[in-house]
Amino acid sequence: MEFRLIDRIRERTAQGRDDVRLGIGDDAALLAVPEGQELAVTIDTLVEGVHFPRDTAPADIGWKSLAVNLSDLAAMGASPAWALLALTLPKAQSADAIQAFIDGFAEGFAQLAQPHRLALVGGDTTSGPLTISVAVHGFVPPGKALTRAGAKVGDVVLVTGTLGDAAAGLYLLQHGGRVEAGDAPRDYLVGRLNRPTPRLAAGVALRDRANACLDISDGLLADLGHICEESSVGAEIDSVLLPRSSALLGLFDETSTRDFALSGGDDYELCFTVPSTRVADVQADLARLGCGATRIGRIVEGSGVRVREADGSWLEPARQGWDHFAA
């Protein structure tokens, strides 16, 4: 049965690439790395009930398990090529239920893989609590990868897209409440949680221009904190500058939208720093690519991330963490 499942995955994710010399079906895939490129590789695991809610649609799980990995490649300025998929499926389900899950999963996975010409070249299938590991491989010209380590004092800090949507979507799912059919703002926020958009084109556009870059998976404060640590600098953020969607602003008060934007996870937007002379150019290019880029603060001497409120006061550090969402 396992083989039939693998065949279904293979059919639904088929992607012709010359550099795949041998794909799914043998003991290992054989892949040709183009001359003059470095390989960027990353892996992420999603566990049911931890990284996505228990009743998430299989197609959304398929999309998201790939999206979180493509987002890591985007943050490096790399272009995706190949993926491996390790699936752990609960034994208790009927064969029909497993097949339905695989079909939905493969559909969502393929919807994101196809426009990026990403080929699924192998994987592993086993039984246990529902867990999905995806590894992706991408290319970047030698020396051009974006890292967390290059931020310089005086750099401007920018983010793509809007912040806090996914965390707000999760909050809405967890706190239920009345849901109107066709509730567009709610659907938008839940969609941002289940189907994040990896900013791959933005990552490529930032090669040679951003001094430091990462993707926001654990929340802006935590992730910008990683840039500060790796670059041995500090950052100052203005809370009024945080880009927030109209859906988020329409459903929550100002303090909640700020807290979602600062500390909410799962955004998969890019946070990056550029010298002030390049900001206008970078913003114009990322606007053209559709995601836009908003300046939210500056890199300063010192360490850690500080957040300035509208009245000029500094936000209490105690209010900066995940705790707000733990209740």
Contact 246, 189 (CB under 8 A): no
Residue with smaller CB distance to ligand ADP, 124 or 309:
124
Indicate the SS3 state at residue 317: helix
Residue 302 touches which of Mg ion, ligand ADP, none (Cβ within 5-8 Å per kind): none
Region for 120 from its dihedrals, namely left if φ exceeds 0, alpha if ψ lies in -120 to 50, beta otherwise: beta
Looking up tokens 């996975």 gives 109
- Residue 24, contacted partner among Mg ion, ligand ADP, none, CB below 5-8 A by kind: ligand ADP
Q: Is 2 one of the binding residues for Mg ion (CB under 5 A)?
A: no
Task: Report in angstroms how near the CB of residue 192 gets to ligand ADP at its nearest.
Answer: 27
Element (H, E) at 103: helix 95-113
Is there binding between residue 89 and ligand ADP (CB under 6 A)? no
Among 27, 35, 96, 301, binds ligand ADP (CB under 6 A): 27
35 binds, among ligand ADP, Mg ion, none (CB under 5 to 8 A by kind): none
Residues near 255 by Cβ (< 8 Å), separated by ≥ 6?
none
As measured in angstroms, the least distance from the Cβ of 59 to Mg ion is 25
Residue 11 binds to ligand ADP (criterion: CB under 6 A): no
**190: contact with ligand ADP by CB under 6 A:** no
Cα first-last separation, the chain: 43
Stretch that binds ligand ADP, among 18-26, 38-46, 154-162, 255-263 (CB under 6 A): 18-26
Q: Which residues pair with 22 in a beta bridge?
A: 30
Give the integer Cα–Cα distance in Å for 27 and 283.
46
The distance of closest approach from Cβ of residue 258 to ligand ADP in the complex, given in angstroms and rounded to an integer, is 41
Restricted to residues 104-163, the positions that interact with ligand ADP (CB under 6 A) are: 120, 122-125
Question: Is residue 46 within the footprint of ligand ADP (CB under 6 A)?
Answer: no
Distance CA 224, CA 229 (A): 9
Sheet with 38-47: strands ordered across: 38-47, 131-140, 79-89, 119-127
- Residue position matching structure tokens 């995601």: 291
Residue 6 touching ligand ADP (CB under 6 A): yes
- Interaction residues for Mg ion, span 96-135 (CB under 5 A): 124
For residue 323, the minimal CB distance to ligand ADP (Å) is: 37
Closest approach, Cβ 312 to Mg ion, in A, equals 59
Which burial class, exposed, middle or buried, applies to 224 when counting CB atoms under 10 A from its CB (0-12, 13-18, 19+)?
buried
Contact 315, 309 (CB under 8 A): yes
Q: How far apart are alpha carbons 275 and 150 in whole angstroms?
A: 11
- Regarding 9 and contact with ligand ADP (CB under 6 A), the answer is yes
Q: How far is the CB of 76 from Mg ion (least distance, A)?
A: 28
85 binds ligand ADP (CB under 6 A): yes
**Tokens 């913003």, residue?**
283
Binding mask 265-294 for ligand ADP (x = CB under 6 A): ------------------------------
Q: Which position among 4, 25, 30, 255 is part of the footprint of ligand ADP (CB under 6 A)?
A: 25
**Shortest distance (Å) from residue 57 CB to ligand ADP:** 19
Closest distance to ligand ADP from the beta carbon of 211 (Å): 38
Which residue from 190, 135, 168, 124 is spatially nearest to 259, judged by alpha carbons?
A: 168
Is 35 near ligand ADP (CB under 6 A)?
no
Note whether 27 and 124 are within 8 A (CB). Answer: no
Q: Give me the residues that bind ligand ADP (CB under 6 A), please.
A: 6, 9, 24-27, 85, 87, 120, 122-125
Q: Give me the residues that bind Mg ion (CB under 5 A), please.
A: 124
